[in-house]
Amino acid sequence: MEFITAQNISFKYETEENTSEISKNVLDNISFSIKKGEFVAIVGHNGSGKSTIAKHLNAMLVPSLGKVYVDGMDTSDEDMTSLIRRKVGLVLQNPDNQLVASIVEEDVAFGPENLGIDPKEIRKRVDEALKAVDMYEYRLHAPFKLSGGQKQRVAIAGIIAIEPDCIVLDEPTAMLDPKGRKEVLDTIIRLNREKGITVVMVTHFMEEAVLADKVYVIDNGKLLTSGTPYDVFSQVELLKRHRLDVPQATEICYQLRARGVDISKLPLTDDECVKLLLEVFR
């Protein structure tokens, strides 16, 4: 079942009047769809348009041309905006931009309170959301004293408490150290696989994209290619022509194959790479 559908969307930011600057499309005639319960990664260079796509998925932005539908609702219909944002929550790159209270549990309660939800239900949702991201023991802590990974998990909990069908994460690990990245990625995967929440993750880390069910590659505002992680990252030459990376494990075996080593299927992960090389060189 298609949950989010983008039909031939283009988008340009408005330029100020009386300037010689020419506005150009940040997104250029892009179409894609996301199924309910799917884990989708959107990858590309900085400035490629991938974060702009993320903001279209919960009606923070609406297309200049084309349509985006969320569970059948047109994002350009202002009467539907509130309902769309209940269904699709957006987590920003910098968690400090989403943390608004001085106590963790109060921060997580902020979204449900704004929706006018009954206080007893809010209490239940806050506890469940914090447990879902493994931050319940920090519920009475001050957010600013937490690590980067912990802050991001609290920001995710704040979205979970709204009980959306889909969480969109815009570069959620970009500002984190390896430990924080692992904490956040483990949380995202658990929410998708155990709770069935649809996840859309914008990232420039190709090792993160291989965790997804489907990958969309954006380049200069256009959709370059899409498919399963293997479908996408086996197109090494195409990605390199557009100055895009592939996972390190894929790159190593691609270079070995180019030097005559018999490798038929390129690996995506370190574990797959080690297993393959042990078989090839035994």
In this prediction, residue 100 carries a pLDDT of 87
Q: Is the pLDDT of residue 17 over 60?
A: no
For residue 282, is pLDDT > 80? no
Tokens of residue 62, six digits:
């609406």
pLDDT value of position 22: 59
pLDDT per residue over 59-72, tens digit each? Answer: 999 999 999 999 99
pLDDT 10s digits, 106-133: 999 999 998 889 999 999 999 999 998 9
Segment 260-272, tens digit of pLDDT = 888 889 999 999 9
Q: What is the largest CA-CA distance in the chain?
A: 69
User: Is 149 in contact with 188 (CB distance < 8 Å)?
Assistant: no
Q: For the stretch 137-170, what's the b/e string if a residue is b when 16 or more beta carbons lie within 10 angstroms of its beta carbon? A: ebbeeebeebebbbbbbbbbbbbbbbbbbbbbbb
Place of tokens 């995710």: 156
Burial class (CB within 10 angstroms; exposed 0-12, middle 13-18, buried 19+) of 258: exposed
Whole-number pLDDT of residue 10: 96
Domain 2-246 grouped into CATH 3.40.50.1820:
no
Measured CA to CA, the distance from residue 114 to residue 147 in angstroms comes to 27
Contact between 79 and 110 under an 8 Å Cβ cutoff? The reply is: no
Cα(27)–Cα(9) distance, integer angstroms: 7
For residue 65, the cross-strand partners are 10
Q: Helices 148-160 and 119-132, interaxial angle, to 10°?
A: 140
Contacts with 117 (C-beta within 8 Å, 6 or more apart), sequence order: 125
DSSP 8-state secondary structure symbol assigned to residue 146 = S
Q: What is the structure's pLDDT at 16?
A: 59
- Chain centroid to Cα 253, Å, comes to 27
Please provide the average confidence, as pLDDT, over all residues in the chain.
Answer: 91
DSSP state of 96: G
Which of 63-67, 75-79, 92-96, 184-188 has the weakest average pLDDT?
Answer: 92-96
Q: What is the DSSP letter of 260?
A: T
Separation between Cα atoms, residue 256 and residue 156, nearest integer Å: 40
Cβ atoms within 10 Å, residue 37: 17
Higher pLDDT, 246 or 115: 246
Q: Quick one: average pLDDT of 238-253? A: 93
Query: Structural domain boundaries of the chain?
Result: 2-246
pLDDT digits (tens, 9 = 90+) for 117-176: 999 999 999 999 999 898 999 999 999 999 998 999 999 999 999 989 999 999 888 888
Decide: helix, strand or coil at residue 180.
helix
What is the model's pLDDT at position 76? Answer: 96
